[in-house]
Every structure is written in C-alpha cells, then in structure tokens.
C-alpha cells in the first residue's frame, strides 16, 4: 500500500517553488484578454467588411486567474501580490471610466495591480482628459494600460454609428499622453471598431499632434516652456491593429534649433508612414 507523505503536498514545497508553479496557473501572456480570431471578424453585420487583428477575448476573465487564491489562507497570503501583478484586469463599461472599480480592493491588491484593459466607446476618451495617473489614483502604478475600442455593433450614438469619433478624440489622447504618469506602456487596440479611415491613419494624426503640441508648449505657448510629464516612444503594429507608447523620461529643455534636430528623425519617420498610407 502506498502511503502519501506530507512533503508531497503543494503546501509543503518551498514558497519559491510555489511561486514558480503559479506562473503555469495564471495567464500572464503579453496580450491576455485579447486574441487573434481563427477566421476574420465581421466589422458590421450588414456589410461584407471583415477585420484581421487582435480582438477582445470574450472568454477571458481575471477571476479565472485568481481562483488559486481561494484554495486556502496560506496560498492567498503568499500569492496575492504575484497573482495580481500577472493578471490583466479587463473593465468592460461603455459609459464610465473612474476609480469606482477599485474601491473594494484591499490595499495589497491595489498596490499590486500592474495590468489593466479598458473596453469602451472611443468617443468617451474625453473621460480620460483629466487623468494625471491611471484613474487619477496616485498610488496606482501600471506596467500596461490598454484601451480596446468597443466593436462597431455596440458603438452607437443616438442609434447611428459615429464614424468620425477617432478624429474627434485625437486632442484628448494627446493631452492625456502629455500628463500621464505611472504607466510604463499605453496601448490602443482597434478591436474591429468600424471607422471611415484606416486605424493607422488615426495613429499618424495622433503622432503628428504629439510632435506639434510638444513644440508649441516648449517654445510658443504664453507660459513656455511647459514640459511633458512623460515622453513616449511609439510603435504601430499592423498585424495586431494596435499602437503602443512606451514611457521615457521627459525631454530636457534645449535651444529650439537643437530640439528641431532632435525630433527630425521622428518627423521624417512620420512623413514616410503617411506617404506609405496614402499610396
């Protein structure tokens, strides 16, 4: 007869090993909460337009990653921090974006949050205009903040699809980028949202306004220089239909000719992207 030994149980393992095992339990993939569809997604039911790129994974729930914390008090105490750090928390709310989502979290849970994805209508991006920190919670430090634009079938204004909402949101996004702190990566995913212009065209508009606004605030504004809180490196991913900003320290104040020389490669890259998009 085989007798189970106490040291064969999970709780008898060193805590370091339990933390390693946790990595196999929790979905810590870079795009957790999103997926590539096996077949192109339909943009609008009444049209023949399809979409190929990342879309929201409707089968993903953060709670599935956190079930391990319900096993016993010991695992909850040991693994809460690591579990919250690795889990993407998806907030699906088409109307409001504020700190209410976190009011029931314990302090250790809130302090451990690192990855949040918002799913809501793009024309409500203005709700983020006042942010200095994510959700204006100074204690919240995120490795990634992702916005997945709500799909076209849910995006309506008075019952009519708003097809110019991206262009109307450009200034709001740029204003947010100039102020936002405590976010290492900021990403916007098209998620099969219907637009009259290609998603990359809007990305080019955002980058163009980032450069234009930064120059104005440094040299031409009445209270210049006004330096951005965060400088960003940016990248468009054509396969994902997403673009991402990676946080960097604010640029120093330099004479205007030196600044123009510094950003010249960024302007040239933008012009090349715009020319390629129009061809």
DSSP character for 250? Answer: P
Computed over its alpha carbons, how large is the radius of gyration of the chain?
Answer: 22
- Look up the pTM and report it: 0.86
Q: What is the pLDDT of residue 6?
A: 45
* Chain-centre distance for alpha carbon 143: 9
Which residues does residue 218 pair with via DSSP β-bridges, in sequence order? none
CA torsion 33-37-38-41 (nearest 10°) is 160
Residues of the chain with pLDDT under 50: 1, 5-8, 153-162
- Compute the distance between CA of residue 249 and CA of residue 61 in angstroms, rounded to an integer: 34
Q: What is the pLDDT of residue 8?
A: 46
Q: What is the pLDDT of residue 41?
A: 65
Angle subtended by helix axes 199-215 and 256-278, to nearest 10: 170
Within the chain, residue ranges assigned H as helices are 15-25, 62-66, 73-86, 107-112, 165-179, 199-215, 256-278
Which residues does residue 234 pair with via DSSP β-bridges, in sequence order? 245
Which residues does residue 242 pair with via DSSP β-bridges, in sequence order? 189, 237
- Compute the distance between CA of residue 118 and CA of residue 219 in angstroms, rounded to an integer: 35
C-alpha separations of 205 from 40, 118, 171, 201 in Å: 27, 22, 10, 6
Q: What is the pLDDT of residue 38?
A: 76
Q: What is the pLDDT of residue 158?
A: 35
Task: Classify the C-alpha dihedral 158-164-166-170 as positive or negative.
Answer: negative
């Amino acid at each position: 007869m085989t007798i189970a030994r106490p040291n064969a149980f999970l709780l008898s393992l060193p805590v370091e090993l339990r933390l390693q095992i946790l990595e196999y339990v929790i979905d810590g993939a870079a795009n957790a909460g999103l997926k590539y569809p096996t077949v192109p997604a339909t943009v609008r039911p009444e049209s023949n337009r399809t979409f190929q790129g990342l879309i929201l994974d409707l089968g993903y729930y953060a709670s599935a990653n956190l079930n391990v914390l319900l096993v016993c008090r010991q695992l909850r105490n040991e693994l809460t921090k690591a579990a919250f750090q690795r889990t993407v928390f998806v907030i699906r709310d088409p109307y409001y974006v504020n700190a209410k989502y976190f009011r029931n979290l314990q302090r250790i849970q809130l302090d451990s949050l690192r990855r949040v994805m918002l799913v809501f209508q793009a024309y409500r991006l203005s709700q983020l205009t006042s942010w200095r920190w994510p959700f204006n919670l100074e204690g919240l430090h995120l490795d990634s903040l992702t916005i997945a634009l709500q799909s076209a079938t849910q995006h309506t204004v008075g019952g009519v699809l708003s097809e110019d909402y991206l262009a109307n949101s450009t200034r709001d996004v740029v204003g947010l980028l100039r102020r936002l702190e405590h976010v290492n990566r900021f990403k916007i995913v098209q998620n099969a949202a219907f637009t009259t212009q290609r998603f990359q065209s809007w990305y080019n508009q955002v980058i163009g306004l980032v450069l234009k606004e930064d120059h104005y605030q440094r040299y031409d504004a009445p209270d210049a220089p006004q330096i951005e809180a965060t400088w960003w490196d940016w990248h468009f991913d054509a396969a994902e239909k997403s673009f991402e900003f990676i946080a960097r320290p604010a640029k120093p104040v330099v004479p205007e000719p030196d600044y123009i020389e510094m950003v010249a490669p960024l302007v040239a890259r933008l012009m090349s992207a715009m020319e390629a998009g129009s061809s």
